[in-house]
């Protein structure tokens, strides 16, 4: 991938009436990149995607694609494909005709159209389903039809709105692999919107975490997962024990608590449940909840720090409800947060 921005959002501002949804957003996306816009409902990720697609006019800023200003270019003129969450397939048409629909609108016909659609169906593994109607397909197959329909139009950028949300767990895993394969083989720049951190971590080259219409953090999946910069990102990617730091102590609902050893000069510290040490340490808690999760056992502890969540190997001796147990939050295992709140 080149370091040059292929799609550039420059001071982009978007609004619904007088309500600003995204303000002064700057984002550079590289050619051939698979990028995730990640965040909770209302964070601005879908609004940003809609503006790239041409379905929403910015109130400020600029969108540039492959060197051209497309800020006010009509949606059907900007070489951007969009796969909707609902797939938006035509139930009365065959798979072939669904994929051919956009090409026919452009005036393509005959052997050229047949070759294009055939290649598109082959790329998503649906050659044998060309004559079927879409209601006869599974959810994963329907999504692949929607993907092929967009891909045959040869978009410069392909946008996917919550692409896996309608699928069950097994199909989600299969479609992750399928999306990665299609994207890498085609080289298309792909942006997908999701609120599912597991999906973003599994698929993306880079993740943009959004909060309140702004970018909270940009990084590789490894950066986001292991090195969150704020309490918001830490909480969103599974650090369930998150504390502000003040005067060398953890700030809790019960007051300030000192840990063994000097705390780093940061805004906050965060621990994943699996980094909490049970059975040793200076802290004490009472088991309020315990659940078996296959290879692990998950605990909820009441302590002077408030609620602590821990996860240990299921082979370790179990601690029943009501048990008093010592534990530790190893400073070396904590994520160091630059921002809190």
Q: Do 176 and 211 fall within a single domain?
A: yes
Query: Per-residue pLDDT tens for 283-295?
Result: 999 999 999 989 9
Please tell me the total count of domains within the chain: 2
Shared domain check, 271 and 213? no
Q: How far apart are the C-alpha atoms of 175 and 134, rounded to whole Å? A: 17
pLDDT at residue 3, rounded to an integer: 54
Domain boundary among 209, 227, 245: 227
Domain end marker among 181, 196, 227: 227
Q: Do 203 and 307 lie in a common domain?
A: no
Q: 209 is written with which tokens? A: 């975490």
In a shared domain, residues 86 and 127? yes
CATH code of 65's domain: 3.40.50.300
In this structure, the answer to whether residues 137 and 186 fall within a common structural domain is: yes
Q: Verify that 280 and 175 share a domain, yes or no.
A: no
Asked if 26 and 153 sit in the same domain, the reply is: yes
Q: With H, G, I as helix, E, B as strand and everything else as coil, classify residue 330.
A: coil
**Residue range(s) defining the domain that contains residue 264:** 234-337
Residue at which a domain ends, from 210, 227, 244: 227
Kindly state whether residues 196 and 240 are assigned to the same domain. no
Examine the domain organization and report whether 247 and 293 are in the same domain: yes
User: What CATH code is carried by the domain that includes residue 276?
Assistant: 2.40.50.140
Cα-atom radius of gyration of the chain, to the nearest Å?
24
User: Which pLDDT score, from 0 to 100, does residue 180 have?
Assistant: 87
Whole-number pLDDT of residue 235 = 94
Q: Pairing relation of β-strands 277-292 and 324-328?
A: antiparallel
**341 residues of the chain, pLDDT tens digit each:** 445 799 999 999 999 999 999 999 999 999 999 999 999 999 999 999 999 999 999 999 999 999 999 999 999 899 999 888 777 889 999 999 999 999 999 898 999 999 999 999 988 888 999 999 999 998 888 888 988 998 899 999 999 988 777 777 777 777 788 888 888 988 999 999 999 999 899 999 999 999 999 999 999 999 999 999 999 999 999 999 999 999 999 999 888 988 888 899 999 999 999 999 999 989 999 999 999 989 999 999 999 999 999 999 999 999 999 999 999 999 999 999 999 98
Please check whether residues 102 and 222 belong to one and the same domain.
yes
Q: Are residues 44 and 63 in the same domain?
A: yes
User: Cβ contacts of residue 85 below 8 Å, gap of 6+?
Assistant: 161, 162, 163, 165, 166
220 and 241 assigned to the same domain: no
Look over the chain and give the mean of its residue pLDDT values, rounded to a whole number. Answer: 92
| pLDDT tens profile 109-155 | 999 999 999 999 988 888 999 999 999 998 888 888 988 998 899 99
């Amino acid at each position: 991938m080149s370091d040059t921005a292929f799609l550039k959002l420059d001071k982009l501002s978007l609004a619904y009436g007088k309500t600003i949804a995204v303000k002064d957003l700057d984002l550079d996306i590289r050619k051939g990149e698979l990028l995730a816009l990640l965040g909770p409902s209302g964070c601005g990720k879908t609004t940003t995607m809609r503006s790239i697609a041409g379905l929403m006019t910015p109130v400020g800023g600029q969108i540039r694609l492959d060197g051209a200003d497309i800020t006010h270019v009509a949606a059907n003129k900007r070489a951007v494909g969009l796969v909707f969450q609902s797939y938006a397939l035509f139930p009365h048409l065959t798979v072939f005709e669904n994929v051919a629909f956009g090409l026919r609108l452009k005036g393509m016909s005959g052997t050229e159209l047949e070759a294009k659609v055939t290649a598109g169906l082959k790329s998503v593994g649906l050659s044998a389903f060309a004559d079927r109607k879409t209601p006869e397909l599974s959810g994963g197959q329907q999504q692949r039809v929607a993907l092929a329909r967009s891909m045959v139009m040869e978009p410069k950028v392909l946008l996917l709105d919550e692409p896996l949300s309608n699928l069950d767990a097994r199909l989600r895993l299969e479609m992750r692999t399928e999306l990665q394969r299609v994207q890498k083989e085609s080289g298309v720049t792909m942006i997908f919107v999701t609120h599912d951190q597991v999906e973003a971590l599994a698929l993306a080259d880079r993740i943009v975490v959004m909060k309140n219409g702004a970018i909270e953090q940009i990084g590789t999946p490894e950066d986001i997962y292991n090195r969150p910069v704020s309490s918001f990102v830490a909480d969103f990617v599974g650090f369930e024990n998150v504390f502000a730091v003040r005067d060398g102590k953890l700030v809790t609902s019960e007051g300030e608590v000192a840990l063994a050893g000097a705390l780093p000069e940061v805004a906050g510290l965060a621990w994943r449940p699996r980094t909490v040490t049970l059975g040793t340490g200076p802290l004490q808690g009472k088991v309020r909840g315990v659940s078996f999760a296959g290879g692990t056992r998950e605990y909820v502890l009441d302590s002077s720090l408030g609620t602590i969540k821990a996860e240990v190997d299921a082979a370790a001796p179990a601690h029943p409800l009501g048990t008093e147990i010592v534990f530790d939050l190893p400073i070396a295992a904590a994520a160091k947060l630059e921002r809190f709140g």
